[in-house]
Amino acid sequence: MFKGTTILCVRKGNQVAMAGDGQVTLGEQIIKAGARKVRRLYDGNVLAGFAGSTADAMTLMERFETRLEEYSGNLMRAAVEMVKDWRMDRALRRLEAMMLVADGEQTLLLSGAGDILEPENNVAAIGSGAGFALSSARAFMEGSDWAAERIARRSIELASEICIYTDNVVTVEVLG
């Protein structure tokens, strides 16, 4: 749905890793290769990654962080309230972005359509290269003893070889 990024979250053992590529495009032109689309929130206890318009994603990230503070880091409660705002507020509902958020216990995919999805198989992805990164990560989860961080990084790198809107400048944040 959204061009210009790939974000992947992997849970394995006691580790949660979220990775994102760094490419920013404007139409058919690459304007930046090292953007940071994965962030730590709530005193480093929550990971968040975004796909879509940068300004829209940053607005949503700030709104989500406010909700995390309001609900003392309760990821699900903050997500529910943020998605309610996203669907009901006239300005917010026009925003074109998706988010992946994770803490030590759960991973959630959030969208402006009102979706709050918990992924299956301990892997979730959003963005233009999501399918490529997701399938790579699932294969590594089954066929390797790699840690979540290594799976996330390598899966984004593989997606960058297929998706023209994903590059191999990877940011990875890890919990656990």
Cβ within 8 Å of residue 87, ≥6 positions away? 93, 112, 113, 114
Question: CB atoms < 10 A from the CB of 15, how many?
Answer: 17
CB 34 within 8 A of CB 16: no
- Using CA atoms, how far apart are residues 131 and 147, in angstroms rounded to an integer? 21
pLDDT per residue over 136-162, tens digit each? 999 999 989 999 999 999 999 999 999
Q: Is residue 66 part of a domain?
A: yes
CATH at residue 44? 3.60.20.10
What's the whole-model pTM score?
0.93
Active site members? 5
The pLDDT value recorded for residue 2 is 46
Q: Answer yes or no: is 80 within a domain.
A: yes
- 122, part of any domain: yes
Is residue 38 in a domain? yes
**Average pLDDT value for residue range 115-119:** 93
In this prediction, residue 114 carries a pLDDT of: 82
The torsion angles phi and psi of 120, rounded to 5 degrees, stand at -95, 160
How many structural domains are present in the chain? 1
| pLDDT tens digit sequence for 39-69 | 999 999 999 999 887 777 788 889 999 999 9
Is residue 174 in some structural domain?
no
Burial of 72 (0-12, 13-18, 19+ CB in 10 A): exposed
Domain containing 158: what range?
A: 6-169
> Which residues sit opposite 16 in a β-bridge?
11, 175
